[in-house]
């Protein structure tokens, strides 16, 4: 996903552990300030997250209520698909989010979302994604990624912002790949993929 983001935007993505809490708030507001009203958004978020849903930043912890308020203020009324690819991701489900926010939680509220090494964890997993893995290695990239990153390799690549009518197609494709992967690979205890 990092490579796709760089290709589409020309910028390197930021992680929460690169930012202070104030920088995160400012960065979010800046990202969405110039987007035309009604433009659908795809927002991929990943950080070190506690079971409470709080995030760890460079200068400390920001609680979930503060994060939610920043997201609501920044995104406004845009239709937005938010992918929370963090440990305990589904703990965000306890927040009363606006109706225009749709979510993919890459792990349950009590679950660590460990990275998967596609070569070492399972030969079947590596075979399933062999073409994409070879491309990553040819670019000098490693093959450790989150569970959502693994699924991302197999789905038709959406643009950074895509039509909200296509979200159901995207969700169904994710569920299909999730089901297929679990049937093919038995050695790995995959995270629970939750779609809200």
Residue 186 pLDDT:
80
Over range 65-75, report the average pLDDT.
Answer: 94
Residue 166 pLDDT:
82
CA distance to 72, 114, 120, 154, 194, per residue, from 182 (Å): 34, 16, 17, 14, 15
Residue 5 pLDDT:
61
pLDDT at 28 over 70: yes
pLDDT at 105 over 90: yes
- Report all structural domains of the chain as residue ranges with CATH numbers, in order of start: 2-195 (3.40.50)
Residue 75 pLDDT:
93
Burial class (CB in 10 A: 0-12, 13-18, 19+), 15: middle
CA distance to 116, 144, 156, per residue, from 127 (Å): 14, 15, 18
Give per-residue pLDDT as tens, 123-135: 888 888 888 888 8
Is 24:56 a contact under the CB 8 Å cutoff?
Answer: no
Over range 10-20, report the average pLDDT.
Answer: 69
What's the CA gap between 89 and 82, in Å, rounded? Answer: 11
What's the CA gap between 180 and 174, in Å, rounded? Answer: 10
Looking at the DSSP bridge assignments, the partners of residue 41 are 80
Write down the residue that tokens 């983001």 correspond to: 5
Give per-residue pLDDT as tens, 133-181: 888 788 877 778 889 988 888 786 655 446 777 888 888 889 998 998 8
Counting residues of the chain whose pLDDT is more than 70, the rounded percentage is: 88
Residue 139 pLDDT:
80
| Mean pLDDT value across the chain | 85
Write down the residue that tokens 């306890």 correspond to: 94
């Amino acid at each position: 996903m990092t490579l796709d983001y760089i290709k589409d935007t020309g910028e390197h993505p930021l992680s929460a552990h690169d930012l202070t809490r104030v920088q995160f708030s400012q960065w979010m507001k800046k990202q969405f300030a110039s987007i035309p009203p009604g433009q659908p958004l795809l927002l991929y978020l990943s950080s070190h997250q506690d079971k409470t849903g709080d995030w760890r930043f460079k200068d400390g912890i920001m609680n979930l209520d503060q994060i939610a308020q920043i997201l609501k203020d920044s995104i406004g009324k845009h239709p937005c698909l938010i992918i929370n690819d963090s440990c305990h991701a589904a703990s965000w489900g306890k927040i009363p989010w606006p109706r225009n926010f749709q979510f993919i939680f890459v792990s349950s509220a009590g679950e660590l979302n460990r990275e998967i090494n596609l070569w070492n964890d399972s030969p079947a997993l590596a075979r399933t994604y062999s073409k994409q893995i070879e491309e990553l290695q040819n670019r000098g990239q490693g093959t450790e990624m989150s569970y959502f990153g693994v699924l991302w390799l197999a789905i038709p690549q959406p643009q950074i912002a895509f039509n909200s009518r296509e979200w159901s197609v995207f969700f169904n494709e994710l569920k299909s790949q999730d089901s297929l992967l679990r049937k093919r690979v038995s050695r790995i205890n995959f995270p629970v993929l939750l779609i809200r």
